[in-house]
Amino acid sequence: MIQQPEFLTVGHVARDVQDDGSFTLGGTVTFAAQTAYHLGLTAAIVTCADPEVAQLLPEALPGIALQISPTEQSTTFANHYQDGFRTQYLYARAPDLSLQDIPSTWCECARIVLFGPLAQELSSDMIKQFARQPGMLLAATPQGWLRQWDATGRVSPVLWQDAEQLLPALDVLILSHDDLLPFADGNRAAADKLLVDWSLLVPLLVATDGRHGATLFQHGQMRHFSAYPAQEVDPTGAGDVFAAAFLTHLDRHHDPAQAVDFANYVAALSIEKPGILGIPHRSQLKDF
């Protein structure tokens, strides 16, 4: 029997292609669900995947409930590095996800719902029509709404057109500060101005900034939190780990400032091992 989730996340699981042609499992939902599970919540993912990925997921994410819509190709990314710069390619994209893909009982019992698009697979209408339950935290990481790609698959930034319509439907928005720099000509102050404007439309907004920590925005007010030191091995998914840790702590303790500090700590631990192996368990955090 599938356990009803306390933490539900919706979005594409990704194939992240490596230089040798192999792939690892990626995507916001992968890292976020594993983090919530390690922190003691029952967790579930709603996604779509090709047969190979669908077969790998139960073994890679034991203990996490999965609702997988079958598709011929999973969303597939590859990163190419030259002279210190990264060029990202989207080689395949799975179909959009809809409310019909989510088991109705999961919608009713989840305390936290995180929408984590990778490639525009979640529509604003879908999220605005989501049946919010009393006491539920509805959150999003908008990275997938800030991407576009050309005929070759090369990914480039695109401004989130539906932000002003969607933000009032959310409780929390969590994103990387760097995601907004392309729209501010690389000017951090201009990016902060956009974040301040968005924070007037959503109760809580958190912008992560790697080794510089994270900033909490509440109704136009900013409060910065320093990062914790870490021996970086693999930063992949750190923002998604942060998001799940923040939401888990906020759900339990209802203190956004404490939740940011906690999430910074969990994210720092997560980058000290490759992939999802670095995500800490609750027992490792008992003295925090």
pLDDT tens column, 12-23: 999 999 888 899
Q: Which among 38, 3, 21, 96 has a CA at the least distance from the CA of 237? A: 38
Q: How many Cβ atoms are within 10 Å of 88's Cβ, its own excluded? A: 14
Cα angle 126, 128, 134; round to 5: 120
**pLDDT in the model for residue 19:** 84
> For residue range 90-127, what is the model confidence (pLDDT) as tens digits?
999 999 999 999 999 999 999 999 999 999 999 999 99
Domain definitions of the chain by residue range: 7-282
- Measure the CA–CA gap between 128 and 150, rounded to whole angstroms: 28
Quickly count: other Cβ atoms within 10 Å of residue 32's Cβ: 32
Interval 152-181: pLDDT, tens: 999 999 999 899 999 999 999 999 988 888
**What are the Cα distances from residue 58, in Å, to 55, 77, 152, 282?**
7, 21, 32, 21
Q: Domain 7-282 falls in which CATH fold?
A: UDP-N-acetylmuramoyl-L-alanine:D-glutamate ligase (3.40.1190)
pLDDT class of 266 with cuts at 50, 70, 90: very high
Provide the 3-class DSSP secondary structure of residue 188.
helix
Other Cβ atoms closer than 10 A to 271: 20
pLDDT score for 1: 46
pLDDT digits (tens, 9 = 90+) for 186-208: 788 888 899 999 999 999 999 99
- The mean of the pLDDT values for the chain is 92
For range 26-45, the mean pLDDT? 96
Radius of gyration of the chain (CA): 18
Amino acid letter at 223? R
Residue 45's nearest CA partner among 73, 53, 208 is 53
